[in-house]
């Protein structure tokens, strides 16, 4: 009997209309757990390194995490993986809500899609009955509207629907997949879904998920719930309100936006508005949220309420969470009322809430600089808000200038030319980032930004505080009950991190300490993404209920896999290196690993070089960031090292560099 997982994947060939229920290898679960781990293994094995994102050979995988569908609080993430049309690298985006548990209850761990349907279709999964259905009547419909229409059509109001809007149908490079209470939006995975001719995947399941040692597992889950309640009653002092508790940043419940409005960049990530957050603005925004926020809501089997339903007079209700309420508002330099209204349209269209507003601000900045002219914007309104609505509509329909902008700022700048490249400056690996413009370089964030495979800073930061506390006494108080650290040395790193002076950056005592902090935060995210755990209860907040010390017992009692901390660390390293290898095989190298040029006002090029050198060595990678043969083989990734040697990415002869550390030659 399989525990926690079902042991079956659903394989769908959209070109042929073929559907298969395929039993999976339990050994792969032991090695990669599930979610991102097994998704990555499938992509490595089955998608040619040269395959284009819009090729029939590219796979689109909806994977559940190993603990999804179990009683583990917060284990509800769907991990959607494919190759991105924007970065050309591996894209994996998480969505919460109820979809992943529902798939488990239907009897499947993953839906693996290949090929392309000649007509627009949707997939209907109802336990053992699986059908490919015509979706021609849904063409052009919004993502939320599509879900409602399908539920009515099937007479299944409790069916969970993951759908694309018009942006996905038209292969907009930053198209999202929307799913009721959440969305998978980074990397353009909605465009891949649209390219495959798939409008939606609909799931209804009524089966059970087996637990290896139920009594022990339930006791652990109850302990997590008890801790959550305690933590929520004791927020962390000295940090911004939205980060003091648990869950995703509490943007829907907390309205103190002074830090975000004055530290986030505005427009196309160039301007900040110091002094913007006045008492009048705060009051206006609070009233807007009160009038439009219907209620706070949770994802499946989670006590947190990180999201909210937003009801705007005359528009369909939609769900919002985290920073989405700010992105359009800031890009258009407008107010929250506008931000919530255009976000509703954007959700129906199905576009990423970080990329879309920056693309529109980028276009208007080019217009202001006469790089784009009136002939590129025929009929565009003269007011700022009207311009954003006009641009959004053109982009998702790929009409006129929108056809170029639909490819994101990097590719649009390449096509436009005339100096436009200078204005596509907030990208990492060709992908728009959260619009931040901060002061002094933060070494931890430099490494996470530069090397993070998720290419999204909000999904790789974590358990180590973002900034030092003002006094030694506050730091000492913080570490007293800091049981979540994988090693006691992290407490000392934080104690020695001062607000000003030579210890004012988290670099003390050396670059390797910085790498250790980054490695810890990465490890927790890779574990979450394999288990399907919400980062808001594990890898993201301070002092979370899930951590490296209790995850092994949850995995053992839930899935029946013998696991300890050392073994779980090894699994996380294996997944991290496999994801890295996939991108290396597709051409990613050191030159691609750099944060946006003006992200920090004060930069230290020599320090950044040292940090990257040290981090690569710490990880067991060579100077180009390629995992060495020795490192890969140690993790059981010998099939990767063999492929790298065959391709000439690595040689089978180790050489010793001038610093005395082993390194493999690269192309």
Q: What is the pLDDT of residues 475-509, one digit of tens each?
A: 999 999 999 999 999 999 999 988 877 677 766 67
Q: Which residue has the tokens 């198209």?
A: 175
**pLDDT value of residue 506:** 65
Cis bond before residue 26 (omega within 30° of 0)? no
Task: Give the integer Cα–Cα distance in Å for 408 and 414.
Answer: 10
**pLDDT value of residue 85:** 98
**pLDDT value of residue 375:** 97
Tokens of 483: 């049981």
Q: Give the tens place of pLDDT for each residue, 610-652.
A: 999 999 999 999 999 999 999 999 999 999 999 999 999 998 6
Task: Give the integer Cα–Cα distance in Å for 539 and 65.
Answer: 15
Question: What φ, ψ does residue 648 adopt, rounded to 5°?
Answer: 80, 5
Task: Give the integer Cα–Cα distance in Å for 431 and 174.
Answer: 9
455's CB contacts (< 8 A; 6+ apart) are: 87, 89, 186, 187, 428, 429, 431, 433
Tokens of 86: 């924007």
Of the pLDDT bands very low, low, confident and very high (cuts 50, 70, 90), residue 382 is very high
Q: What is the DSSP code (8-state) at residue 486?
A: S
Rg (CA), the chain: 24
**pLDDT value of residue 433:** 85
Of the pLDDT bands very low, low, confident and very high (cuts 50, 70, 90), residue 436 is confident
For the segment 227-256, the average pLDDT, to the nearest whole number, is: 85
Q: Give the percent of the chain with pLDDT over 90.
A: 75
Q: Give the tens place of pLDDT for each residue, 209-225.
A: 999 999 999 999 999 99
Q: Which residue has the higher pLDDT, 440 or 133?
A: 133
**pLDDT value of residue 663:** 39
For the segment 459-483, the average pLDDT, to the nearest whole number, is: 90
Q: How many CB atoms lie within 10 A of CB 5?
A: 28
Do residues 40 and 81 make contact, with C-beta atoms less than 8 angstroms apart?
yes
In 54-167, where do the E strands start and end?
A: 60-64, 78-83, 90-95, 110-114, 121-126, 129-134, 160-163
For the segment 81-110, the average pLDDT, to the nearest whole number, is: 97
Q: Where does residue 132 fall: left (phi above 0), alpha (psi -120 to 50 degrees), or beta otherwise?
A: beta
**pLDDT value of residue 57:** 98
For the segment 541-562, the average pLDDT, to the nearest whole number, is: 97
For the segment 263-284, the average pLDDT, to the nearest whole number, is: 76
SS3 assignment, position 648: coil
Tokens of 39: 């998704």
Of the pLDDT bands very low, low, confident and very high (cuts 50, 70, 90), residue 269 is low
Is the pLDDT at 267 greater than 70, yes or no?
no
> Which among 190-194, 318-322, 383-387 has the top mean pLDDT?
190-194
Q: Is 30 exposed, middle or buried (0-12, 13-18, 19+ CB in 10 A)?
A: middle
Over the chain, what is the mean pLDDT? 92
**pLDDT value of residue 240:** 80
SS3 assignment, position 295: strand
Q: Give the tens place of pLDDT for each residue, 15-40.
A: 999 999 999 999 999 999 999 999 99
**pLDDT value of residue 47:** 98
Question: What φ, ψ does residue 549 adopt, rounded to 5°?
Answer: -85, -30
Of the pLDDT bands very low, low, confident and very high (cuts 50, 70, 90), residue 655 is very low
153-167, 221-235, 271-285, 340-354: the lowest-pLDDT one = 271-285
Do residues 494 and 478 make contact, with C-beta atoms less than 8 angstroms apart?
yes
Q: How far is CA 45 from the centre of its chain?
A: 23
Domains of the chain, start order: 8-204 (3.60.9.10), 252-354 (1.10.569.10), 440-663 (1.10.599.10)
Q: Which residue has the higher pLDDT, 567 or 240?
A: 567
**pLDDT value of residue 69:** 97
540's CB contacts (< 8 A; 6+ apart) are: 248, 459, 461, 462, 463
**pLDDT value of residue 251:** 79
Q: How far is CA 386 from the centre of its chain?
A: 30
Q: Where does residue 142 fall: left (phi above 0), alpha (psi -120 to 50 degrees), or beta otherwise?
A: beta
Of the pLDDT bands very low, low, confident and very high (cuts 50, 70, 90), residue 662 is very low
Of the pLDDT bands very low, low, confident and very high (cuts 50, 70, 90), residue 208 is very high
**pLDDT value of residue 180:** 79
Q: Which residue has the tokens 């995975």?
A: 189
Give the residue among 582, 583, 577, 584 at the shortest CA–CA distance from 648: 584
**pLDDT value of residue 666:** 43
Tokens of 574: 């294996």
**pLDDT value of residue 556:** 98
Q: Give the tens place of pLDDT for each residue, 41-77.
A: 999 999 999 999 999 999 999 999 999 999 999 999 9
Strands 198-204 and 318-321: unpaired
**pLDDT value of residue 507:** 66
Do residues 644 and 470 make contact, with C-beta atoms less than 8 angstroms apart?
no
Is the pLDDT at 656 greater than 50, yes or no?
no
């Amino acid at each position: 009997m399989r525990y926690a997982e079902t042991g079956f994947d659903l394989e769908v060939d959209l070109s042929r209309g073929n559907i298969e229920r395929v039993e999976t290898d339990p050994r792969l679960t032991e090695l990669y757990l599930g979610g991102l781990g097994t998704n990555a293994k499938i992509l490595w094995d089955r998608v040619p390194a040269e395959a284009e994102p819009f090729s029939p050979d590219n796979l689109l995988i909806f994977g559940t995490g190993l603990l999804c569908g179990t009683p583990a609080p917060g284990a509800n993430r769907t991990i959607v993986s494919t190759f991105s049309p924007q970065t050309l690298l591996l894209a994996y985006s998480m969505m919460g809500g109820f979809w992943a548990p529902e798939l488990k209850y239907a009897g499947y761990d993953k839906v693996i899609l290949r090929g392309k349907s000649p007509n627009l279709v949707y997939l209907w999964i109802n336990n053992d009955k699986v059908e490919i259905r015509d979706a021609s009547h849904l063409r052009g419909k919004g993502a939320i509207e599509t879900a409602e229409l399908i539920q009515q059509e099937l007479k299944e109001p409790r069916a969970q629907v993951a759908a694309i809007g018009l942006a996905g149908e038209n292969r907009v490079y930053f198209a999202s997949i929307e799913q009721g209470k959440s969305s998978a939006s980074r990397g353009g995975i909605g465009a891949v879904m649209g390219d495959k001719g798939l409008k939606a995947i609909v799931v209804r399941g009524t089966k059970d998920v087996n637990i290896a040692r139920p009594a022990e597992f339930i006791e652990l889950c109850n302990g997590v719930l008890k801790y959550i309640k305690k933590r929520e009653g004791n927020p962390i002092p000295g940090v911004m309100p939205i980060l003091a508790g648990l869950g995703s940043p509490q943007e829907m419940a907390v309205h103190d936006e002074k830090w975000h409005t004055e530290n986030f960049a505005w427009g196309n990530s160039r301007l900040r508005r110091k002094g913007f957050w006045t008492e009048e603005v705060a009051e206006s925004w609070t009233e807007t949220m009160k009038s439009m926020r219907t209620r706070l809501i949770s994802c499946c089997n989670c006590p947190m309420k990180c999201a909210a339903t937003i009801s705007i007079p005359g528009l369909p209700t939609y769900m919002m969470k985290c920073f989405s309420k700010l992105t359009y508002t800031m890009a258009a330099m407008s107010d929250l009322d506008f931000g919530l209204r255009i976000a509703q349209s954007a959700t129906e269209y199905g576009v990423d809430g970080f990329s879309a507003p920056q693309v529109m601000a980028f276009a208007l900045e080019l217009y202001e600089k006469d790089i784009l002219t009136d002939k590129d914007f025929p009929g565009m309104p003269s007011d700022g808000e009207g311009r954003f609505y006009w641009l959004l509509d053109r982009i998702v329909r790929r009409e006129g200038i929108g056809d170029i902008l639909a490819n994101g700022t990097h590719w649009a700048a390449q096509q436009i030319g005339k100096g436009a490249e200078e204005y596509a400056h907030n990208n990492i690996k060709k992908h728009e980032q959260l619009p931040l413009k901060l002061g002094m370089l933060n070494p931890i964030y430099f490494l996470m930004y530069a090397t993070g495979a998720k290419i999204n800073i909000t999904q790789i930061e974590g358990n180590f505080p973002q900034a030092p506390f003002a006094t030694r006494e506050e730091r000492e108080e913080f570490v007293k009950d800091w049981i979540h650290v994988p090693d006691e040395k992290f407490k000392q790193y934080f104690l020695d991190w001062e607000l000003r002076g030579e210890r004012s950056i988290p670099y003390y005592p050396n670059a390797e300490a910085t790498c250790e902090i980054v490695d810890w935060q990465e490890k927790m995210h890779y574990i979450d993404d394999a288990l399907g755990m919400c980062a808001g209860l594990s890898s993201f907040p301070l002092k979370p209920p899930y951590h490296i010390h209790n995850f092994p017992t949850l995995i053992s009692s839930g899935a029946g896999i013998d696991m300890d901390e050392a073994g779980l660390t090894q699994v996380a390293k294996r997944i991290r290196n496999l994801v890295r290898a996939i991108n290396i095989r597709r051409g990613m190298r050191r030159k691609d690993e750099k944060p946006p040029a003006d992200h920090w006002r004060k930069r230290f090029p020599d320090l950044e070089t040292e940090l990257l050198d040290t981090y690569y060595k710490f990880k067991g990678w060579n100077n180009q960031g390629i995992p060495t043969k020795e490192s890969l083989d140690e993790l059981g990734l010998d099939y990767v090292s063999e492929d790298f040697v065959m391709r000439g990415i690595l040689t089978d002869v180790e050489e010793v560099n001038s610093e005395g550390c082993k390194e493999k030659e690269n192309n």
